[in-house]
Structure 1
Amino acid sequence: MNLANKITVARICLIPAFMLFLLVDWPLGETEWFQQPITYSMLVATAIFVVASATDWLDGYYARKLDLVTSFGKFLDPLADKLLVTAALIGLVEAQLVPAWIAIVIISREFAVTGIRLVAAAEGDVIAASKLGKWKTLTQIIAIIASLLHNIPFSALSFPFASIMLWIAALLTIWSGIEYFVKNKHVILKSM
């Protein structure tokens, strides 16, 4: 396994630690940022999520720079993104920080796209993420971080940044999903 793929696997391995700090009520206390209380557990969860999200850029950088692009990496990298985002959204719904309908829209698109990728893989094709898909992932990550931080520091300004980013992420998720199906309809048709 090359370096880029190891970084991708590390991203997947960070998910349980992230969920542990997000969902377990650890007696670590809390602090206040911009006159808004936030638990240290949530700050640790956010830090883990940020590190895990950063590995998405890092594995891609090394894969391109060191010519380590593999079919396994093309399949595993988007899957790792989906696992991380799905875990975060479900945890945030549980914590009542993200509306369930947004999580359902995003997760449904991710399942549908993963299904197409599996059909393509069975046919010997590997479908890499598109630029719009990468923008979708970026907005999802920003929305999740803002939600994890309870919209701090924007809450001090009464600006709903987290909510706006969740809407943008949902819209880009739908748009990129439509684009994905249109571009890859041949995979679906070939498998019927």
Structure 2
Amino acid sequence: MNGWTERGTMFSSFYDMACMPTSLPPVLGINLQYMKQKVLRCLKWHKESYIDHFDSMNCRATTNFCESELEALYEAFGLNMFDISEPCEGLRREMFCYYIVIDIISYLLQPSTCDLLGIDPAAQNFSTVSWPINSAFDAAFDVLRDSHEHIAALLESSVRILIYVGTYDWGCNWVGNEQWMLALVWSGCEAFVGTEFRE
């Protein structure tokens, strides 16, 4: 899943974004202790099956459990995973909770738009997501691989990094991203952590 740089912080931040007053007052009307227990279990299993020792079968089991217990729980409330202040409109998988996606696809498929963008008119299969490609990444455990160490290496090479997330985004939220950024080990981390947070 794009935007997931460090999986463990995303698991814990799902609880924070939905059940704590982070960007908005809590948005889920559930037994918060129940969800917190699920988060703690996800963190424990993630550490055991991925960080301490990579075990593909246990990683898959952890992912399946955590997605069904955390993500599905959020989805059951009908909220938009890209904006916790809004309900999900339309189909989540095809339109990502936004009816405007239909208009965007229609616009991008217009011959005049394709011509303007230099797209071969024969390539008329634009879609917002390719589920077969998504499944291939998933089968290769791509979604389970943390990439924060690669970011540390880029920073050590003086490559400037921009991390951006929406204030109300639940799926790839600012709380989890802030957590891994503040914990990232690199030569400039002390100065970075001491920098005032700003929008």
Return the TM-score normalized by structure 1.
Answer: 0.34
* Structure index of larger Rg: 2
**1 or 2, which has the higher helix percentage?**
1
The one of the two structures with greater contact order (alpha-carbon pairs below 8 A, sep at least 6) is 2
